[in-house]
Amino acid sequence: MTTAAIILAAGRGTRAGGARAKQWQGLAGARVIDWTLRAFRAAPAIEVIALVLQPDEMGLVAPADGLITAAGGDTRADSVRAGLEALDGRGVDKVLVHDVARPCVTPALITAVIDALDDSAAAAPAVAVSDALWRGDAGHVAGIQPRDGLWRAQTPQGFDFAAIRNAHAAHAGDAADDVEVARAAGIEVAIVPGDADNLKITTAADFDRAARILRDRQRSGPSSDFDIRTGTGYDVHRFGPGDHVMLCGVAVPHDRGLQGHSDADVGMHAITDALYGALALGDIGRHFPPSEARWKGAESHIFLRHAMDEVRARGYRVTHIDCTLICERPKVGPHADAMRERLAAIAGLDAGRVSVKATTSERLGFTGRGEGIAAQAAATVMRP
Ligand code: MG
C-alpha cells in the first residue's frame, strides 16, 4: 500500500512572462517547483513523488529520497502516462496528479484528497463558482450563464492507481485534466472541497498573488506551514554487570552491561531527547517517567517511536539525525551501520538521513575510566 504523487513540470509555458517556463521562476524566495515539491514532501502519506520534466531539464532538481524523475511527453496526457509508467511496479495503490503551477497547495488539501480515495476510485478538489457568469460577444454581455452546479477544478486529482493507468491507456489524444480521462473510462469522481488559495499560476499577476499567500504563511508564526528546527540531546548510563550493551537498538556484546530504568540505550535516549527538543516537548523523563513501573526494562524503541509520532502529528518530518557515542569500549565502529539501519527502520527514515559515529575521550573523565557511556545527538525537523 503506497501513495504516490505525479507532479507535472514538463510545460514550456512562458505566458506568465520570463525567459524560462514558470516552474523555474522565482517565487517568495524559492522556485515555483520547489514550493510545490515542499508541499507534497510535507504530506505525511505521500511516499513517492514522480516528477515529470523536460528531458533537458532533468538536472535542474536535486536528487532526493522518495523522488524519481521521468521525461515528459508532447502533451499533458503523455506526461501523465510517463509519470504512471515511472511508478509502475512500485506497489502504488493511490496516485495523485498535480500541476506544478499550483505551488500554494497545502499538505492538508493533499491529505484530504488521499483520504477521499478510501471511499472512491477518484477524487479531486474543486471550488463552487460564486461569481455570476456571463457569455460575452464582441465586448458586450450576450447572455447569463446559470452557475448552479458549476465548479472550478483544481489539482491534485487522486485516483486508484490501476484505474487511472487503464483509463489513460484507453484514452486517445490529450485531455484538459485527469478527471476528464477518468470520466471517459466510466470512473466516478468525488468532489473534495478545494482551497481558494490553491491558484494556478498563469499570469504575472498570479505570481504576485501566490507570493503574497506563501509569504503570509511564512510570517504567521508558530502556525505557519514553513518551519525548520534543530534539537539536541545528551545522555549517560553507567556500567554494571552484564554481557552486552544496547546501543542505538543493537545489542553489542561486552563484558559489562548498562544500568538504567529501561534498557539503558544511551544513544536512542539522546536521539529521542533531540527530537523532543526540536519540538520543545521536554525530555524522555516527562513522557516516560522513571517513577512509573511500566517503563522498567522497557525497550527504548518505544521512546523513539513516540517522539516520531509527535513529530508527524505536528506536521513535521525529520530531515536528519546525528548521534555520537562516547566510550573507550566496546568498539562501536563495526556496529555503526547496523545501528543506522535499526534507527532508520524504527523512525521510518531512509538510512541516509541517520548518522551514528563514535569517539573516545582519550581515557579522560568518566567515559575514559570506563565507568559508563555518554551519547549526544542532534535532530533536525522541518515543515512542510
Ligand atoms: Mg537515559
Structural domains of the chain, with CATH: 2-219 (3.90.550.10), 227-383 (3.30.1330.50)
pLDDT at 65: 83
For position 383, what pLDDT does the model report? 84
Rg (CA), the chain: 26
C-alpha angle 213-219-221 in degrees, rounded to nearest 5: 125
* Average pLDDT per block of 10 residues along the chain, 384 residues long: 95 70 90 94 93 93 90 92 96 97 96 96 96 94 93 98 96 91 97 96 94 84 71 97 97 95 94 97 90 86 94 87 97 96 94 96 95 98 85
Report how far ligand 1's centroid is from the alpha carbon of 374 (Å).
Answer: 9
C-alpha torsion angle, residues 125, 129, 133, 135 (rounded to 10): 10
* 381 CA to centre of ligand 1 in angstroms: 22
260 CA to middle of ligand 1, Å?
7
- What one-character-per-residue DSSP string does 215-254 give? HHHHHSGGG-S-EEEEEEEEEEEEEES-SEEEETTEEEE-
Smallest CA-to-CA distance from 356 within 249, 257, 244 is with 249
Only one residue has cell 506563501, namely 214
Q: What are phi and psi of 374, to 5 degrees?
A: -115, 155
* Residue corresponding to grid cell 508532447: 74
What is the structure's pLDDT at 295?
83
Determine the Cα–Cα distance for residues 239 and 373; give it in Å rounded to an integer: 8
Residue 220 pLDDT: 66
pLDDT at 155: 98
CA of 297 to the centre of ligand 1 (A): 12
d(CA 48, CA 89): 12
Q: Cα(215)–Cα(207) distance, rounded to whole angstroms?
A: 12
pLDDT of residue 225: 66
Distance from residue 239's CA to the centre of ligand 1 (Å): 12
Going from the Cα of 269 to the center of ligand 1, the distance in angstroms, rounded, reads 5
Q: What is the DSSP string of 159-218?
A: EEHHHHHHHHHH--S--SSHHHHHHHTT---EEEE--TT-PPP-SHHHHHHHHHHHHHHH
DSSP 333: G
Burial of 244 (0-12, 13-18, 19+ CB in 10 A): middle
Cα of 238 vs centre of ligand 1, distance in Å, is 10
Determine the length of the chain: 384
Q: How far is the CA of 382 from the centre of ligand 1 (A)?
A: 26
Ligand 1 center–CA 241 separation, angstroms: 17
User: CA angle 154-319-27, nearest 5°?
Assistant: 40
How far, in Å, is the centroid of ligand 1 from the Cα of 246? 11
Distance 237 CA to ligand 1 centre (A): 6
- Burial of 126 from C-beta contacts in 10 A (0-12 / 13-18 / 19+): middle
